[in-house]
Amino acid sequence: MPEWIKSDTPVGYAEALAFMEARVAAIAAGEADEAIWLLEHPPLYTAGTSAKREDLVDPDRFPVYEAGRGGQYTYHGPGQRIIYVMLDLNKRGRDVRCFVRALEAWVIAALAEFNVSGEIRDGRVGVWVKRPEKGLQADGSPQEDKIAAIGVKLRRWVSFHGISINVEPDLSHFSGIVPCGIREHGVTSLVDLGLPVTMDDLDVALQATFETAFKAECAAAPPSA
């Protein structure tokens, strides 16, 4: 099992990047254990490697950081649980698609602890929930909002960056960007869904579901030649 690290006060983005860089290098060198870091950031936007300038609607609202991970623009801030995953895929099987599926399965399993049905969608990164109370889409299906984002990077088959799950962030802060480049859908949070879930509640659910989610999606495999 990885080492679980928890920060009780918001961590600056540059500080978080520096920590991940150092830990990933140590894991790759066999000098440190895998780690999962639970934290919050002060309000900020991050730009992934596919970010489009026009999707940064309000560039002066919060600091903007080049993240170096996959994906587009995301918002991070208080009330949002950040889960940075520094995991060694050399030991877990060098399969990037399987790894991302495992992250998705983990989020879905954690949300299910609160009776929230998270779902994934082809062509839309992250985890989504149906919002029938908001009406129907053009195709007659219920409206959907994003509750969790996923964006990772690998170095020497060790992962960093990871997942953000909305517990009780200020959802108006997402209006400064087009989240993940998706204009036709909104964002939500556990509290926005009417659930009195705390950050500690979510942390317990994440720890309870981690091992099962990863074992179910990707059996450990030896590194490929």
Which residues sit in the known binding site?
69-76, 149-151, 162-164
Beta strands in 105-199 (DSSP E): 119-121, 124-136, 142-155, 158-166, 186-187
Distance CA(156)–CA(27), nearest Å, equals: 10
180 is catalytic: yes
Residue count of the chain, please give it.
225
Give the HSE-up count for residue 209: Cα atoms under 13 Å, Cβ half-sphere: 21
Check residue 77 and report its DSSP letter: -
Q: One of 180, 197, 202, 205 is an active-site residue; which one? A: 180
As annotated, the binding site for substrate includes 69-76, 149-151, 162-164
DSSP string, 175-204: GGB-GGG--S-EE--TTTTT----HHHHHH
Q: Which residue has the tokens 């030896």?
A: 222
Per-residue 3-state assignment (H helix, E strand, C coil) for 4-67:
EEECCCCCCHHHHHHHHHHHHHHHHCCCCCCEEEEECCCCEEEECCCCCHHHECCCCCCCEEEC
The catalytic site residues sit at: 180
